[in-house]
Copies of this chain bind each other. A is one copy, B any other.
């Protein structure tokens, strides 16, 4: 398992960077926010990303993808993180498609994955029910009824819920709240009767929805995987999501750091460049070191996803290392970035604040640093 990008991955990274720099600067996100865009993402930009094959990056060739691995998807996420691109890449590709790929039957994969690659299908993962991510704290119920199921419950923090065609809903077919057993995953049509979706305007100018399911009837074919037995595969899906988000955070924190470094080299105070103050230098050097560690944690976690020798327990550990570390350092770097910019960093006109806002949402998504440190300790038996 190498921690250095392969030549192909490096080429992909360079081209993704060039594409993002040219087509998706932070001003795109700002525009979506200021215009209160109905979709919350730039559809033209997304079409270009589809043409570049980004939606099929980690999807097997058998289902219309390009089988470039999570390493490939990771560098795309990293580069899109640099300019805070808001797109269906996370909700649909990273989370939704992975759920279908990990849990679905061959028929389900054959039906839906090509639609993700082509952009016809937008997905959203509905799991959290409380303000804190606790993957087994599922009260949403799915009760067998005839051939199908009836779903009831509420979901929160459903990323891109308002634009999804289909929702990947985690529900309980058995067991008590917090039980690992009894979890099932359903693919629910967003337009189905009883589904109500309320878009939330988030601090990072992205979108997540509150979802309520009121006697929603689905067929047996809506079930992804075996009934009541989703825990293991679902955990892998979440770990894929955590690693992908960590990759995105890596891009954002590198960019925020570089912007700040540039500022330290330009801004004069008291007759000298502020970057010559040792107090700031040491803080910058410490950030640099932490970012290097983050880079390694992300590269290793992505490589592990593509490594057939790594089992679920390995992946879990890599995912929690990456998500815990990145969440912590993203907070540090974005706070320091604003502080080192001084007053100008506090203005909405300047981009750096966007990085701080995104860092906090990404840090909380799929488990914050506290959650993943706790999980890491449990995984390691202490």
Contact = CB atoms under 8 A, between A and B. Distances in A.
A44 interface: no
A382 interface: no
Nearest to A285: B279
Interface in A277-291: 277-279, 281-282
Contacts of A278: 277-279
A278 B277 CA distance: 7
A271 to B, nearest CB: 15
A289 to B, nearest CB: 15
**By DSSP majority rule, is chain A's interface helix, strand, loop, or mixed?**
helix
Interface in A241-299: 277-279, 281-282
Interface residues of A, number: 5
Contacts of A281: 279
Contacts of A282: 279
Interface in A133-164: none
A279 B282 CA distance: 7
A279 B278 CA distance: 5
Nearest to A276: B278
Nearest to A280: B278
A285 to B, nearest CB: 10
A269 to B, nearest CB: 13
A141 B282 CA distance: 56
A281 B279 CA distance: 8
A233 to B, nearest CB: 37
A228 B169 CA distance: 58
A357 B278 CA distance: 30
A230 to B, nearest CB: 35
Contacts of A277: 278
Interface in A83-107: none
A264 to B, nearest CB: 13
A274 to B, nearest CB: 11
A281 B280 CA distance: 12
Interface string A337-355: 0000000000000000000
A288 to B, nearest CB: 15
A32 to B, nearest CB: 40
A282 B278 CA distance: 9
Nearest to A282: B279
A34 B282 CA distance: 40
Nearest to A277: B278
A227 to B, nearest CB: 40
A145 B135 CA distance: 58
Interface string A172-203: 00000000000000000000000000000000
A278 B276 CA distance: 10
A277 B277 CA distance: 9
A279 B277 CA distance: 8
Contacts of A279: 278-279, 281-282
Interface string A204-223: 00000000000000000000
A277 B282 CA distance: 11
A282 B282 CA distance: 11
A293 to B, nearest CB: 21
Interface in A20-78: none
Interface string A299-335: 0000000000000000000000000000000000000
6 contacts: A277-B278, A278-B278, A278-B279, A279-B279, A279-B281, A279-B282
